[in-house]
Structure 1
Amino acid sequence: MSQDTIDLLKVLVATALVFAGGTLVMLYVIFLLAQYGANLPMIGALPLQAPPELVPVLVDSRVFPTLAAVHVTASGIALLLASHTIDSALLIAAKAVAVVITALIGFAGGHMIYLQLNESTPVALNALAPALIALAGFFVLSTWLSVGNLRQLGNLRFVVGVAAILLGPTLLVWL
């Protein structure tokens, strides 16, 4: 495993932990303000409620499959061109989307822990399955299937590029 992959894994773990912890703290502050700060003039006027269950809505909105399909198509175009800037842009975009998905998973994990601790709600990871699949996909796109790695195929990269251009719209329909 390369150092870039290890660094990305470290960032993803740190992001998940920070967002899970941040969510727990935020929800407990909301809980404490709702319980003990309702008489304060500035806080009593605020509608303090727990965040809605946005994770399934965000995951099922087809944003991640659309981004994956566009990324695969753009990677195919980048393989046909010779541009270090485009390669870097696609690598940064794939890593950024992986970090955003990890932040969403961290938020959901923190929210599930909060519900488990306060309401004894069972932890259900079914709603996170699409996000976990999207995270795995963008992790692969930012490591092993990055344009920089595919360029090492020599002239075979042109065939892979054309295949990626054709695969992108197929992924959009399939996913």
Structure 2
Amino acid sequence: MSQDTMDLLKVLAAVLVVFAGSTLVMLYVIYLLAEYGANLPMVGAVPLTAPPELIPLLAQNQVFATLAAVHVTATGIALLLMSNTIDMALLITAKAVTVVITSLIGFAGGHMIFLQLTENTALSPSGLTPAVVALAGYFLLSTALSVQALRGLGNLRFAVAIAAILLGPLLLVWL
């Protein structure tokens, strides 16, 4: 495994832990404010139910699938061109989206832990399946399937480029 991949894995682990812990603390603060400070101005307006309602909206969102399909098409186009700027832009985008998806999963994990501790709700990560699939896809796009990695295929990259350009719209339909 390359040093870049190891660094990305370290960042993803840190983001997951930080967002899960921060969500847990945030929800407990909201819970305590709602429980003991509801008469204070603006504290009673803090919606205790807002974060849980966001999880299905964020996790089931087709934004990540759409971005992945466009990213695959853009990778194919970039392989046909010779531009370090485009290559770097796609790599940065893939890594950034990977981190964002990881933060979403951390948020959902922190929320599930909060529900387990406060309401004894069973942990059920099944609603996060689309987010985990998107995370795996973007992790591949930022490591093994990055434009820089695919350029190492030599002239075979042109066939991969055509396949990626054709695969992008198909992914949009499948995902």
Aligned-residue Cα RMSD (Å) equals 1.1
Q: 1:42 to 1:162 in 2, by over 3 A?
A: closer
Q: Secondary structure at the match of 1:41?
A: coil
Partner of 2:142: 142
Deviations 1:123-172 (A, max 9, x none): 00110111111100100110000000000111111111111000100111
Q: Secondary structure at the match of 1:165?
A: helix
Q: 1:174 to 1:43 in 2, by over 3 A?
A: closer
Q: Provide structure 2 residue ranges, at least 5 long, that are not aligned to the other structure.
A: none
Partner of 2:101: 101
Q: Secondary structure at the match of 1:107?
A: helix
Partner of 1:82: 82
Q: Distance in 1 between matches of 2:149 and 2:76?
A: 13
TM-score, length-scaled by structure 2:
0.95
Deviations 1:14-39 (A, max 9, x none): 00101001100100110111112123
Q: Distance in 2 between matches of 1:160 and 1:41?
A: 60
Question: Does the 8 A contact of 2:52 with 2:111 survive in 1?
Answer: no
Q: 1:40 to 1:54 in 2, by over 3 A?
A: closer
Partner of 1:132: 132
Confirm whether residue 14 of structure 1 aligns to residue 14 of structure 2.
yes
Partner of 2:28: 28
Name the amino acid aligned to 1:126.
S
The 5 A counterparts of 1:24-173 are 24-44=24-44, 46-50=45-49, 51-173=51-173
Aligned-residue identity in percent:
71
TM-score, length-scaled by structure 1:
0.95
| Number of residue equivalences | 174
User: Per-residue deviation at 1:48?
Assistant: 3.5
User: Per-residue deviation at 1:42?
Assistant: 4.3
Name the amino acid aligned to 1:69.
A
Q: Distance in 2 between matches of 1:42 and 1:126?
A: 35
